[in-house]
Amino acid sequence: MIYITGTGQLGQELQKVFRDTNKSFQAFPIEEWDICNTNQNEDILSKNPSFLINTAAYTAVDKAESDLKLAYEINSEAVLNLAQICKKRNIYFIHISTDFVFGKNPVVQNGNLKFWSTTDLSSPKGIYAESKKKGESYIENTLTDKYTIIRTSWLYSAYGNNFPKTILRLLNDPNRKELNVIEDQIGRPTWAYRLANFIELLVQNISNSIPVEKMYHFSNSGLASWYDFACAIQDIGLNKGILKEKKSITPIPTESYPTPAERPRFSVMDLTKSQSIMKNIPHWREDLEYCLSEDLIIKSWMNW
């Protein structure tokens, strides 16, 4: 049995993938399982699932700057408690972390910017990034085996709020003639469904006693700036007829769009280890096409 905390973007996509692959699982919304409630953690995990997948998180990056107590409670302290119970009960713990742990300037290697590897020192900036890093460290210091941390980046899906949905909404606003989007932050957009596929393969490997790593970097392949991502959303939206009119999108520097939390300028992670589990990781643009073909995403942003 697989237990899943959190029913946000990834939690929803995992349910879809596990249903399609006939896995036994139970997914708990926050109303049924609040991971900050240590009694509830003990109680629910006393049923001894084989796997715990923690997708629950405080993900409001800017809000975290003024709401740090809650961000640390969810992203760090609750994770420590879950890891301790998993250790006691011999439950395999799969936890999700973020590319935002790489906040420092990129390193140039052989004339190119180096993609962050799982062995590179992290450099979180801001409360969200620091709280997620602390959660990682708690797991590494509590568990010696039976855990895997997966860092991912720029998640989007048909569920919840995310960048593609915001861009579609803004482009569809008749009062808006143009859009300014940041061009000097580079990362890898990732469809939450593809990450769920990866996690299912990981669970399969572990269940079949195939050795796996303690840390993976998983994202879609290819890189993009937020500006590239927005342009692709517009192109695909127009092709699919979910947008009617092409608007001007202007690339702007980070300095022109100040936010409470600082974002990494280059958080592209090296996917080599993940490719031993998912051989051909699709390019982000290919998966963006799939996501924007889903009935659900069209209905959800049209209802805004």
What are the tokens at 5?
A: 């905390």
Amino acid symbol at 163: F
Cβ atoms 119, 76 nearer than 8 A: no
Nearest distance from C-beta of residue 141 to ligand NAP, angstroms: 19
Give the C-alpha separation, 47 to 93, whole Å.
15
Give the C-alpha separation, 300 to 304, whole Å.
7
Q: Which is nearer to ligand NAP, 35 or 291 (CB)?
A: 35
* Active site annotation includes 156: no
With binding defined as CB under 6 A, does residue 57 bind ligand NAP? yes
Query: Helix crossing, 192-207 with 9-20: angle to 10°?
Result: 50
Please report the beta strands in 11-68, taking only residues with DSSP state E, as ranges in sequence order: 25-28, 51-54
Nearest distance from C-beta of residue 61 to ligand NAP, angstroms: 8
What are the tokens at 283?
A: 């390019």
Nearest distance from C-beta of residue 197 to ligand NAP, angstroms: 15
* The binder of ligand NAP chosen from 26, 30, 123, 273 (CB under 6 A): 30
With binding defined as CB under 6 A, does residue 5 bind ligand NAP? yes
What are the residues whose beta carbons fall under 8 Å from the beta carbon of 127, sequence distance 6 or more? 64, 65, 67, 68, 71, 72, 261
Amino acid symbol at 257: Y
With binding defined as CB under 6 A, does residue 6 bind ligand NAP? yes
Binding piece for ligand NAP, criterion CB under 6 A, among 5-13, 170-178, 228-236, 242-250: 5-13
Nearest distance from C-beta of residue 11 to ligand NAP, angstroms: 6
With binding defined as CB under 6 A, does residue 83 bind ligand NAP? no
Q: What is the DSSP secondary structure assignment for residue 124, as one 8-state letter?
A: -
* The binder of ligand NAP chosen from 15, 23, 26, 34 (CB under 6 A): 34
Give the C-alpha separation, 75 to 49, whole Å.
22
Please work out the total of residues on this chain that contact ligand NAP, with binding judged by CB under 6 A: 27
What are the tokens at 90?
A: 């011999």
Give the C-alpha separation, 156 to 277, whole Å.
22
* The binder of ligand NAP chosen from 4, 17, 59, 224 (CB under 6 A): 59
Q: Which is nearer to ligand NAP, 123 or 247 (CB)?
A: 123
Q: Which listed residue (3, 72, 92, 128) is catalytic?
A: 128
Q: Which is nearer to ligand NAP, 5 or 185 (CB)?
A: 5
Q: Which is nearer to ligand NAP, 80 or 238 (CB)?
A: 80
User: Can you give the binding site for ligand NAP, defined by CB under 6 A?
Assistant: 5-11, 30, 33-36, 55-59, 74, 96, 98-99, 132, 152-155, 160
Active-site positions? 128
